[in-house]
Each structure stands twice: as structure tokens, then as C-alpha cells.
Chains A and B, each alone.
Chain A
Amino acid sequence: MLDHNYDGIRELDNNLPPWWIWGFYLTIVFAFVYLAHYHLFRTGPLQTEEYNIAMQEAADQAKARELKMKDFVSAETITALNTPEALGAGKGIFEKNCVACHGAELGGSVGPNLTDDFWINGGGIKNIFKVITDGVSAKGMISWKSQLTPKQIQQVASFILTKHGSNPVGGKEPQGEKYVEETISAPLTDSISVDSTIIVNQ
């Protein structure tokens, strides 16, 4: 017991518990090891590297799934479907996801009219598939590849083509260029390319 007395409070002077003092040393050692691991020897991945590793893994997995899946379609191999089941499924996907911008009758509202001959990013099954998959961010079309499978995109693209020339009431004025089936407006890109957002540490 020390001779301290504060308003009747006395103080003992017990030794620091050994497990406490050794635990404290251990956390200090941990701190130095951690900093050396990540910042001196650079043996651990920092967040940018972790992100790139995760994106690469996701891309590899997507590639592997592609190879395994019988019904996988890509922008190169896609063809329009015409079975009633596929078109029915496509109609359902359209009503759930696309109506808000392209209108229930595909006449367009925020987004362009999908029933006329004019296409901003090229018409035809391949271009439509590409636009739905990757989106056109400058125009407000989002990428659907994280929400729809390639098969589902093929179904909805096929459904859209069936409405060509339906000329719905109140349809939006034509936008883009007149599309003739044979031309391909832009070089096709890999539909499962890694996210293009690159983080740069200057």
C-alpha cells in the first residue's frame, strides 16, 4: 500500500500482470512486422493490388464458366432466337428492366425508340447484345452484365428485334443512323472484359 490518500482513496502498487505486459510487447512487435510486410518489403498486397487480383479472379472465373456453359453466347457467336419460349422470356426481362426508359411498346422515352430503322450504336442482334452487355455510359445506358446472364441478354435482344417496324403510338423521333443489316458499326470487344475503371496512384 502506497502512502497516497485522495479523499480516502488509497493506492496499491501491484506489478503489471505478466500476460498484460507481454501482450503489449506483442502488439508493438505486430505493428512493426505489419508495416514492414506491407510498406518496407512490400510482400503483402495493398488495396489497389488486392482490387486488381480480385477483378482478375472474377474475369478468370467468368471465362471458366463460359467454357463450361453449353448455352453460352458472346457478341461474336450470338444469333437471334425465335422460339416462343425464348421470346416470352425476353419479353418478361424487357418488362422488368427496360420499360422505364424505352417504353412498354419500345417507342422510347428517356432512351431511344427501338422499333425504327435508326440506331445510335448500330442495330442487329450483335450490336444490341453488345450495348445491353456493356452499356453506353455517355448516353445513360447502363451495363446489364452484372444483372443478366448472356443467355438472358440474348433473349431480350431477340425480343427487341421482333418489334422492329411496329411503329407504336407516341414513338420517339428517330435517333442515330439508319442501320442496314450487313454493316457492323464498331469493332466488337470482348463482352467479359475486366472493368475499365483503373485506379492510378500518381
Chain B
Amino acid sequence: MTIEKFSYDNRIVKNFALATIIWGIVGMLMGLIIALQIPFPGLNIGEYLTFGRVRPVHTNAIIFAFVGNGIFMGLYYSLQRLCKARMFSDGLSKFHFWGWQSIIVLAAVTLLTGHTTGKEYAELEWPIDILIAVVWVAFAINMFGTIIKRRERHMYVAIWFYIATVVTVAVLHIVNSIEIPVSILKSYSAYAGVQDALVQWWYGHNAVAFFLTTPYLGLMYYFVPKAANRPVYSYRLSIIHFWALIFLYIWAGPHHLLYSSLPDWAQSLGTVFSIMLLAPSWGGMINGLLTLRGAWDRVREDVVLKFMVVAITAYGMSTFEGPMLSLKSVNAISHFTDWTIAHVHIGGLGWNGMLTFGILYWLIPRIYKTNLYSAKLASFHFWIATLGILFYAVPMYWAGFTQSLMWKEFTADGILKYPNFLETVTQLMPMYKLRALGGAMFLTGAIVMTYNLVKTMKQGTLNAEEAAEAPALEKNEKEHGGHWHRWIERRPVQMIVISAVVILIGGIVEFIPTFLVQSNIPTIESVKPTLHWNCKEEIFISVKVVTLVTHKWCDLSVPKLNAMVNIPKQESLYMIIHSNGDRSEQVRTYIVKEENIQMYGITII
């Protein structure tokens, strides 16, 4: 048995760490701006800094820039050590890093200038979608390559989570982004109506599952036992909660579409799979918290462990709340209210934010071969961030209940008590101000952390090439028994294939009937099924038919279309909004009589 010498690439870890910090500050600042724009509408400055433009920049920056770089930071650090191998290719690591940062910059620029697909968390236009797919594939090759040439026979549970993440995110992104480009920065989704809604929330829900949850569970499985210096609580729990989690999560998307035109059976599947997710989610929490058994005295002193305990607790809270919100009776109260905003921020600020901070405080001094510059400042960060979460979440819960109650309150005459939406908004102003205060506290903590970590980096030196050594794996090593699950832990290819099958089942079962069975598409009598036709050059986009009092009759010039079109029919009249997809061109509106449409050879279904 020969001992091989090699080195871990810490420079790429440092780069992703810096990106995490910088984009974290940017993303939180964007969040603070939109939080302030609600109580102080005057802050909607100019075209580019209005709420509608900044809000998707905030969500994309937090999810894909802050958490995304956080995943890559932790993954590149832990994967090398768990595999006892350097990353597969330094070139791919660099391409992954710079590709991902350019996607973020392109995202910020296009969103602020108003280019969006309008699909939540998938707002980026088609050229950026392609770039994301390319960079993700490069990342996948780099990761799987590292696993293949590992020097550790078995893959640790963190790696199972990494594999499920990389496979599923690729599937989600590609399927949801299928769209027809009409210009360099405009495209239309290949899906329409209720099918579009189903695909979008299969994507949206599982972006939470496989971007914000599974990779962070992988990080938890590495960094919590490392930081606490305690063994993982239960190997068998990690097996059952991993497989159950990735299988069940994918089905739960329809809980975003309760009480909608989505077929009832699909809504019910969304509900019951969300309920069944409770135990697998809590399995992760138990394995995290109980790993700290015997180290609780250290939690009181070690700020890294404090961050981790709050993160795991927040994970447990929001994964209890999620299934509850997917019950129809609870959803009828929460949906469209600020309750949802509170819920996602328990996850975002608590689970993702606090775990990222904990990992940064643990990791930066290690790769810089020094100690943390100031434990006091880190402790200050912990307290202001924890208080910030409370100041954020409590007013939002309060606001959510208030909104819901006001919207549904009737007078004795059977008339809505608050028919004007603004009445509910003015009622919530104090809550919105408190929420902004909570966000400002959280951001302040992050800025203090940045100072602390920069000082730490300055006092140490980056150990860019960390020397390591390990024996190479012997080929044809005889397999000896042990737990049945050890079989797959030795076989990365089978692990990839089986986890891909497990995550595909739920989507397939929900999609196929919704796309193929006509009775799954409910209609309202006054609105006829959509109309599709093909022509050249120009695009027609459907809108709700409006009343015709003030519109002149127009003849429609010969339509030349090349994309799918939906035009709802009402009383033989159509309103068509007409545009080439060019932003500089004024959008033209036509009201067309049914006869005229037939004149051009367009038939109505």
C-alpha cells in the first residue's frame, strides 16, 4: 500500500467564501431597501430602483448568490477532505467560480433593467438560463470527477446530499426553463395555464428543497461534527431521512397552488406529501442537534456552535411550519399574506444565514492558519442576528394574521368591511417598519462579520495548497459485509442513477396526467379554452378581455406569428395586446371581432 501525497485546493474555497460574504451583503441590502420601500414609498427612486425590480434581485441574490456561493464554499472544502482528494480539475473549479459570478452580475443587470420571464425564482432570461446550465454541468463534472478518483472507499452522508443536489437542480432548471426565445432578452415559456403553474411550483418548491435545504444538510453533516468534535448521532437515521427526504420533497410543489385551477387530486398530493415530509425533515434536525450531546457546555462559549444551534433550530421550526401551511384550512388563512414572508425568512435568515455564518467563522481561520480576530465581535454578530430574526419574523406573523382577518371581515349588511386594499396596508405600517428594523439588525451583524473576517485574513496567510497524504484505493478490494447501505456508499455511479430515479418519480406522476388528461383543466363557462396558432415574425400575447366601452374597433393587420398564442374568448370579442417583444416599441392594443379573426383563417376551438 503506497501513501500518495497531494494537496487540497484552499484558494477556490477562499474565493467562494469571499463571494458569499460580498453577495450576502448585497442581497441583504437589497432586502432592506424593499423592506423600507413599503412604509416609505418615496424610496422607489427612478425606474431601476422600484420595488418590482429590486425584489427579484433580492431573492435571486440571496438564493443563488449568497446561499449558492455558500454551498460551493462548504462543498469544495468538505468534498476534498471527505474524498481525500484534490478537486478533479483546477480549470473547472475556476470556470465554475467565474461563470457563477458572471451569472450573478448578468442577473442583477437584466432584472434591474426590466428583463424578466416573470417566473418566480426563475426570472432570468434564456441566454442566462443556458449559461447557468453550462456552469452547473461543469460543476457536476468537477464534483463527480473528484468522487470517482477519491481515496476514501465509502461516501459519507454529506456526499449523498451533494449528489442529490447536483442531479436534482439540473433537472429542475432545465425542465422549468424550456422557453421559446423571440429576441435576445425575451422568451415565452413552453408551458401555458395550469400546466405552467404546476411546472413552475414543482421548480419553485424544489429550489427551496434542493438549493436551500439538501446542500445545507450536507454542510451540516460535515461542519457540525467537525466544529463540535463529536460523532454523528445516528448513521441509520441519516440513511432513512436522506432517502425519504429526497423522494417525498419532489411531490410537494402543488401545495403552492391550493384553491387554484390545479386539479384537486394534484392539490391533495401536494398536501399529503408535505405532511409526510415532517419526519424526514426533523430527522435532519435531530441528527444535527443530538450530535451536540456532550458538547452543550461548549455551545455556551463557542460562537460557531451557537450559530449552528440556532440554524438547526430554525430549520426544525420552518420545516414544521411548512407542512402546517400546506393544510388547506391553514393555507386559506396564510396564503397571500405576510405569514408566507415570515415563514421563508425563518428558513432564509435562520437556517441558511446562521449556518453560513457559523461555517465562515470556523473555516476562514483554518485556511488562513490563524485564530479568529475577535470572538467578542462574533458574539455581537450572533446576538444582533438572532434578535434581528425575531424583529423580522414576529411583526410579519402579526401582519399576516391581521391581513387575513381584515380581508375576510364582513359588516352586518354582508358587505366587506375593508373593500379597499389600502385600508389593510395602512393598518400594517408599524409592522413593516419593525420588520425593516429587524432586517437592518441582521445586515449590521453581517457587516460586523465582514470586518472581523477581513481582519482575520489580514493577520494570517492563506494556506492555498494544504498538503495531505492518503493511501490510494486498492482496486478489486474484497467487499466485507457491514450495513446493507454500505453497498451503495462504495458506488457513486449507482448512487447518482438511483437518486435521479427517486427524485423523478414524483414529478412524473404529477405532470403526465395534468398534461394529457383533458378533464384536469377546469374551465369557466364564459372563458373558452385557449387558442393556439402559428404564423411568422410577430407575437401576440393573451390578456384578460376587458370591457369595450372606450376602445375603437380596429382591423387587425395580417398576423404573422411564430409562437404559441392564447386568446380568451368572451362574447365574440377579443382584445389582443400586440408586441414584437422589443421593449422600445409601443405595445399596440386591438379589439377584434370574431368575424375578422375568422377572415384571416383563424379557427376557434
Q: Do A and B interact with each other, yes or no? A: yes
> Smallest CB-CB separation from B273: which chain A residue?
A31
Interface residues of B in 249-266 (CB under 8 A from A): 259, 264-265
Q: A6-B152, A61-B414, A146-B419 are in contact. Are A27 and B264 (CB under 8 A)?
A: no
Query: Are the C-beta atoms of A14 and B225 separated by less than 8 Å?
Result: no
Q: Which residues of A contact B522 (CB under 8 A)?
A: 48, 199-202
A140–B272 Cα gap in the complex (Å)? 43
- Nearest-CB distance from A17 to chain B (Å)? 7
Task: Find A62's partner among B231, B280, B414 (CB 8 Å cutoff).
Answer: B414
A7–B244 Cα gap in the complex (Å)? 26
Q: Which residues of A contact B525 (CB under 8 A)?
A: 197-198, 200
Query: Are the C-beta atoms of A30 and B414 separated by less than 8 Å?
Result: no
Query: Are the C-beta atoms of B276 and A31 separated by less than 8 Å?
Result: yes
- Nearest-CB distance from B512 to chain A (Å)? 18
Q: A9-B226, A38-B264 are in contact. Are A110 and B550 (CB under 8 A)?
A: yes
Q: A9-B232, A11-B235 are in contact. Are A202 and B523 (CB under 8 A)?
A: yes
A199–B527 Cα gap in the complex (Å)? 11
Q: Which residues of A contact B519 (CB under 8 A)?
A: 201-202
Query: Are the C-beta atoms of A13 and B286 separated by less than 8 Å?
Result: no
- Nearest-CB distance from A71 to chain B (Å)? 11
A196–B571 Cα gap in the complex (Å)? 15
Q: Which residues of B contact A61 (CB under 8 A)?
A: 414
A89–B84 Cα gap in the complex (Å)? 83
Query: Are the C-beta atoms of A140 and B547 separated by less than 8 Å?
Result: yes
A118–B565 Cα gap in the complex (Å)? 41
Q: Which residues of B contact A31 (CB under 8 A)?
A: 272-273, 275-276
Query: Are the C-beta atoms of B273 and A10 separated by less than 8 Å?
Result: no
Tell me if A47 counts as interface (CB < 8 A to partner B): yes
- Nearest-CB distance from B462 to chain A (Å)? 20
Interface residues of A in 108-145 (CB under 8 A from B): 110-111, 137-140
Interface residues of A in 1-58 (CB under 8 A from B): 1-2, 4, 6-17, 20-21, 23-24, 27-28, 30-31, 34-35, 38-39, 46-48, 58
Interface of chain B: mostly helix, strand, loop or mixed: helix
Q: Which residues of A contact B280 (CB under 8 A)?
A: 24
A48–B524 Cα gap in the complex (Å)? 12
Query: Are the C-beta atoms of B283 and A20 separated by less than 8 Å?
Result: yes
A23–B240 Cα gap in the complex (Å)? 14
- Nearest-CB distance from B513 to chain A (Å)? 13
Q: Which residues of A contact B549 (CB under 8 A)?
A: 110-111, 139-140
- Nearest-CB distance from B117 to chain A (Å)? 28
- Nearest-CB distance from A34 to chain B (Å)? 5
Q: Which residues of A contact B283 (CB under 8 A)?
A: 20
Q: Which residues of A contact B269 (CB under 8 A)?
A: 35
Tell me if B81 counts as interface (CB < 8 A to partner A): yes
- Nearest-CB distance from B6 to chain A (Å)? 14
Q: Which residues of B contact A6 (CB under 8 A)?
A: 82, 152, 154, 156
> Smallest CB-CB separation from A137: which chain B residue?
B547
Query: Are the C-beta atoms of B276 and A138 separated by less than 8 Å?
Result: no
Q: Which residues of A contact B225 (CB under 8 A)?
A: 9-10
Interface size range of chain A in the complex: 35 or more
Tell me if B236 counts as interface (CB < 8 A to partner A): yes
Q: Which residues of B contact A14 (CB under 8 A)?
A: 233-234, 236-237, 290
Query: Are the C-beta atoms of A11 and B237 separated by less than 8 Å?
Result: no
Q: Which residues of B contact A48 (CB under 8 A)?
A: 264, 522
A31–B327 Cα gap in the complex (Å)? 12
Q: A6-B156, A8-B226, A9-B222 are in contact. Are A200 and B524 (CB under 8 A)?
A: yes
- Nearest-CB distance from B336 to chain A (Å)? 16
Tell me if A147 counts as interface (CB < 8 A to partner B): yes
Q: Which residues of B contact A166 (CB under 8 A)?
A: none
Closest 6 CB pairs of A and B: A24-B279, A140-B547, A31-B272, A10-B231, A6-B156, A14-B234
23 CB contacts below 8 A, A to B, read A6-B154, A8-B226, A11-B231, A11-B238, A12-B234, A16-B234, A20-B279, A20-B282, A20-B283, A21-B279, A24-B276, A30-B272, A31-B276, A58-B414, A110-B549, A139-B549, A146-B415, A146-B419, A147-B415, A147-B419, A197-B526, A199-B522, A200-B525
Known: A11-B231, A30-B276, A34-B272; 17 extra A-B contacts, CB below 8 A, are A6-B152, A6-B156, A7-B222, A9-B225, A10-B232, A20-B282, A21-B279, A31-B273, A31-B276, A34-B268, A35-B269, A38-B264, A39-B268, A137-B547, A199-B524, A200-B522, A202-B521
Name A residues whose Cβ lies closer than 8 Å to a Cβ of B: 1-2, 4, 6-17, 20-21, 23-24, 27-28, 30-31, 34-35, 38-39, 46-48, 58, 61-62, 65, 110-111, 137-140, 146-149, 197-202
